[in-house]
Amino acid sequence: MNQTVQISPSDLDAQRTYCAQIADHWSARGRTPSAYVETYGCQQNEADSQRIRGMLLTCGYRMAEGPEGADVVVMNTCAIREHAEQRVFGNLGALTHTKRRHPEQKIFLCGCMAGQREVVERLRRSYPHVDGVFDPQALWRFPEILYRSLTTGKRVFPTELSPDSIAEGLPVLRDSRHKAWVSIMYGCNNFCTYCIVPYVRGRERSRRPEAILDECRALIAGGCREITLLGQNVNSYGKDLDMGWDFSDLLAAVAELEGDFWIRFMTSHPRDAGKKLFDTMAAHPKIAKQLHLPFQSGSSRILKAMNRHYDRAEYLKAVEYAKSVMPELVLTSDVIVGFPGETEADFEETISLISQVRYDALFTFIFSPRPGTPAAEMPDPTPKEEKNRRFDRLCGLQNAISEEIHRGYIGRTLTCLIDGREGGLLTARTEGGRLVRLEGPEDLIGTFAPVRITGATTWSLTGTLEA
Ligand code: SAH
Ligand code: SF4
Ligand code: F3S
pLDDT in tens, 345-378: 999 999 999 999 999 999 999 999 999 999 999 9
Q: How many angstroms is it from 156 CA to the middle of ligand 3?
A: 23
Residues 12 and 150 in one domain: yes
Q: Which of 165, 184, 202 is the last residue of a domain?
A: 165
Nearest ligand, measured from the Cα of 297: 1
Are 393 and 405 contacting, i.e. CB atoms less than 8 angstroms apart? no
Residues 104 and 30 in one domain: yes
Best residue for ligand 3 mutational test, from 38, 44, 292 (most atoms within 8 Å of Cβ): 44
- Look at residue 452 and tell me if it is in a domain: yes
How many C-beta atoms lie closer than 10 Å to residue 97's C-beta?
A: 12
Residues 181 and 161 in one domain: no
The CATH number that applies at residue 229 is 3.30.750.210
What is the distance between the alpha carbons of residues 149 and 32, in angstroms, rounded to a whole number? 18
Round the CA-based radius of gyration of the chain to a whole number and report it: 23
Q: What is the mean pLDDT of residues 266-294?
A: 96
Assess whether pLDDT exceeds 60 at residue 2. Answer: no
Among residues 174, 175, 165, 173, which one has the least CA distance to residue 134? 165
Residues 154 and 15 in one domain: yes
Are 366 and 83 contacting, i.e. CB atoms less than 8 angstroms apart? no
Task: Give the pairing type, strands 5-6 and 290-292.
Answer: unpaired
DSSP label at residue 40: -
Assess whether pLDDT exceeds 50 at residue 1. Answer: no
pLDDT of residue 378: 98
Are 71 and 97 contacting, i.e. CB atoms less than 8 angstroms apart? no
- Look at residue 404 and tell me if it is in a domain: no
What is the distance between the alpha carbons of residues 443 and 199, in angstroms, rounded to a whole number? 45
Nearest CA to ligand 2 atom 5: 190
Q: How far is CA 343 from the centre of its chain?
A: 31
Residues 161 and 180 in one domain: no
Q: Which of 260, 288, 316 is the last residue of a domain?
A: 288
* Half-sphere CA count of 391, side-chain side, radius 13 A: 17
What is the chain's mean pLDDT, rounded? Answer: 96
For the CA of 375, the closest atom of ligand 1 is 22
What is the identity of the amino acid at 326? M
- Look at residue 67 and tell me if it is in a domain: yes
- Look at residue 338 and tell me if it is in a domain: no
- Look at residue 230 and tell me if it is in a domain: yes
Residues 157 and 15 in one domain: yes
Q: How many angstroms is it from 369 CA to the middle of ligand 2?
A: 14
pLDDT tens, position by position, 184-242? 999 999 999 999 999 999 999 999 999 999 999 999 999 999 999 999 999 999 999 98
Among residues 146, 135, 226, 233, which one has the least CA distance to residue 191? 233
SS3 label, residue 17 = helix
Q: How many angstroms is it from 77 CA to the middle of ligand 3?
A: 8
The domain tally of the chain equals: 3
pLDDT tens, position by position, 402-415? 999 999 999 999 99
Nearest CA to ligand 1 atom 5: 80
- Look at residue 325 and tell me if it is in a domain: no
Are 373 and 80 contacting, i.e. CB atoms less than 8 angstroms apart? no
| Total count of residues recorded for the chain | 467
Q: How many angstroms is it from 194 CA to the middle of ligand 1?
A: 8
Q: Which of 243, 269, 288 is the last residue of a domain?
A: 288
pLDDT of residue 194: 98
Q: Give the pocket of ligand 3 (CB within 6 Å).
A: 41-42, 44-45, 78-80, 111-112, 196-197, 201
- Look at residue 364 and tell me if it is in a domain: no
Residues 145 and 180 in one domain: no
The CATH number that applies at residue 16 is 3.40.50.12160
How many C-beta atoms lie closer than 10 Å to residue 81's C-beta?
A: 19
Are 379 and 408 contacting, i.e. CB atoms less than 8 angstroms apart? no
Residues 78 and 144 in one domain: yes
CA angle 337, 47, 203 (to 5 degrees): 65
Residues 194 and 240 in one domain: yes
Q: How many angstroms is it from 176 CA to the middle of ligand 3?
A: 22
SS3 content of the chain, % helix, strand, coil (to 5): 40, 20, 35
Domain interval for residue 266:
176-288
Are 221 and 215 contacting, i.e. CB atoms less than 8 angstroms apart? no
Nearest CA to ligand 3 atom 1: 78
pLDDT tens, position by position, 328-350? 999 999 999 999 999 999 999 99
- Look at residue 457 and tell me if it is in a domain: yes
Q: How many angstroms is it from 370 CA to the middle of ligand 1?
A: 11
Residues 197 and 276 in one domain: yes
What is the distance between the alpha carbons of residues 419 and 444, in angstroms, rounded to a whole number? 8
Q: What is the mean pLDDT of residues 112-136?
A: 96
The CATH number that applies at residue 417 is 2.40.50.140
Q: If pLDDT is split at 50, 70 and 90, which confidence band does 324 have?
A: very high
Are 309 and 296 contacting, i.e. CB atoms less than 8 angstroms apart? no
Assess whether pLDDT exceeds 80 at residue 4. Answer: no
Residues 71 and 152 in one domain: yes
What is the distance between the alpha carbons of residues 92 and 85, in angstroms, rounded to a whole number? 10
Residues 156 and 30 in one domain: yes
